[in-house]
Amino acid sequence: MRAFDQSPTDPAFVQDPYPFYDRLRVAGDLAFWSDYGMPVAAGHATVAALLRDKRFGREDPFPPDRPDHQRAFWSVEDHSLLQLEPPAHTRLRAQVLRAFTSARIARLEPEIAALADALIDAFPSGPFDLLDAFARPLPVRVIARLLGVPEDDGPDLLRWSNDMVRMYMAARTVEAERGAAAAAAEFADYLERVIAAKRTAPADDLLTRLLEVEADGVLTRPETVATCILLLNAGHEATVHTLGNATLALHRTGLLGRPIDAPLVEEVMRIDPPLHMFTRYATEDVEVFGHRFARGDQVGLLLGAANRDPAVYPDPATLRPDRFPDAPAHLGFGGGIHFCLGAALARMEIRVGLDALVRRCPDLTISTRTSYADVYHFHGLDTLHVDRSRDARATLAPVGDLT
C-alpha cells in the first residue's frame, strides 16, 4: 500500500482536494494517508463496497478514554444513530423512519417553496452573502418545522450545530472540543425545555411522535434528545454546503439559468459534495482489498473522491446536467445502514431552493472572490457574496475543477 502525505488543513488542499484524490485513486483500492494514520479508499467501487460491508462500523471497539472537557459532547453523541451499530441502530432508525415518512416530507414542498420565496423577497438590492441570506436559514427553518421546534430559535440551532460538528473537523483544538461540549449541553437543555412544552401541547410533528415512542418504552430520553440533535444538525449542515457549492458550480459553468430538475440535483451533489470523508472501524479481524485490518483499525471512505472516479463518471470534473439518472448513483449520501436518513428531504430542499433562485434571480452573479472554508472533512464555502443587479459582473478567482 502506497503512503501519501497531505495535510487536510493545507490551504491549497482545502480549496481543491480533487488532484490529491486522483493520486490516491490511481495507487490502488487502498492507500495510506499518513496525516490520518490510516488506509483510505478513493475509488467508487471500493468506497461503495466498504460502506456496505457489515464487518466495518461506526462504533470504536476500543474507545479511548475521554477527557473531562469532552464528556458533555459524548453524553449526547454516544446515543446518536450516527455512532451506533445494530441492534441499537436498527431499533432507533426504525422508530425515526416511522416518523420521518416520505408522505410527511412530500407535504413540506409547498412550505419550502414559500419559505424560499420569502427569503428571496428579503434580499437586499446590493451585494450580500447568499449563505447567510438563503442557504443557511432555508434548511434550518425547514428541519425546525418538521421536528416541531420554534423556527425563531434558528440562530441558536445554527450556533450549537456549528460548534458540535467541529469535533469532526481536521486538526481540532482543545478550545474547539470545549466549545462542542458546551454546545451539546446547551442543546440538550434546550430540547428538554421544548419536550416539557410538548407534554402539554402535542402537535403533528416529528418530536411529538418520538415522545410517543419514548412513552411506549422503545426509546430512552437520552436517545430522543440525541436523535433530535442529529436531525437538526444533519438536517441542515450538508444542505447549506450543497446549496452554496451548487450555486457556485452552476454559475461557473454558465448553467445558473437552467431549469432545476432531479437529475441536475444529483449532478451538483456528485461534483462537489458537502461531506468528503466518512470513517469506519473494523469490527473484526478482516482482509479486504489486499489489506488485513485488525479489529478496531480505521478506514477512511472518501466520498468526494468516489464521486469523481473517471471509471464511473467520464470527464468527472465537468458538470453534465444530463449525466443522471443513467449514471451509477453518487455516494454523497453515504451508503449501507448509515445511508442519510434525510436524503429525500435534502434533495427536495436543493431542488426547490435552486429553482427559486433561478426563477426569481435570473441575473444573479457572484460579486467577490470566493473560497472554501477550512472545515475538512466537510467541504463548503466560507461565504458566497452575490449581486442581483443586471450590470453586476463576477470577479471570481478560479476555484478547483469547477472553472
Question: What are the angstrom distances between the C-alpha of 269 and each of 25, 321, 366?
Answer: 20, 11, 20
Helices within 101-220 (DSSP H only): 102-106, 109-121, 130, 137-147, 154-165, 174-200, 206-215
Q: What is the pLDDT along the chain (403 residues), one digit of tens a residue?
A: 999 999 999 999 999 999 999 999 999 999 999 999 999 999 999 999 999 999 999 999 998 889 999 999 999 999 998 889 999 999 989 988 876 778 888 889 999 999 999 999 999 988 999 999 999 999 999 999 989 999 999 999 999 999 999 999 887 899 999 999 999 999 999 999 999 999 888 888 889 989 998 999 989 999 999 999 998 888 788 899 999 999 999 998 888 888 899 999 999 999 999 999 999 999 999 999 999 999 999 999 999 999 999 999 999 999 999 999 999 999 999 999 999 988 999 999 999 999 999 999 988 889 888 999 999 999 999 999 999 865 544 444 344 433 3
What is the pLDDT, as a whole number, of residue 397? 39
CA torsion 57→61→62→66, rounded to 10°? 60
Helices 88-99/221-252 angle, 10° precision: 70
Residue that is written with C-alpha cell 403533528 in the block: 204
Half-sphere exposure of 121 (CA within 13 A, CB side): 6
Phi and psi of 71, rounded to 5°?
-60, -40
Buried b or exposed e, range 47-77, using 16+ CB within 10 angstroms = bbbbbebeebbbeeeeeeeeeeebebbbbbb
Distance CA 38, CA 219 (A): 35
Instruction: Provide CB contacts within 8 A for 378, sequence distance 6+.
Output: 165, 168, 169, 237, 241, 274, 275, 276
CB atoms within 10 A of CB 300: 24
Is 110 a member of any domain? Answer: yes
What is the pLDDT, as a whole number, of residue 173? 92
Phi and psi of 205, rounded to 5°?
-140, 170
Is 31 a member of any domain? Answer: no
Is 143 a member of any domain? Answer: yes
Indicate the burial class of 112 (C-beta count within 10 angstroms; 0-12, 13-18, 19 or more). buried
Total number of domains constituting the chain: 1
Is 306 a member of any domain? Answer: no
Distance CA 239, CA 230 (A): 14
CATH number of the domain that residue 148 is part of: 1.10.630.10
Distance CA 142, CA 371 (A): 27
Give the structural domain span for 172.
67-271+319-402
User: End-to-end alpha-carbon separation of the chain, Å?
Assistant: 33
Question: What are the angstrom distances between the C-alpha of 277 and each of 26, 77, 304, 342, 392?
Answer: 18, 18, 7, 18, 37
Is 220 a member of any domain? Answer: yes
CA torsion 392→393→399→403, rounded to 10°? 120
Is 396 a member of any domain? Answer: yes
Is 277 a member of any domain? Answer: no
Is 61 a member of any domain? Answer: no
Here the cell at position 106 is 412530500
How would DSSP label each residue in 127-138?
Answer: -EEHIIIIITHH
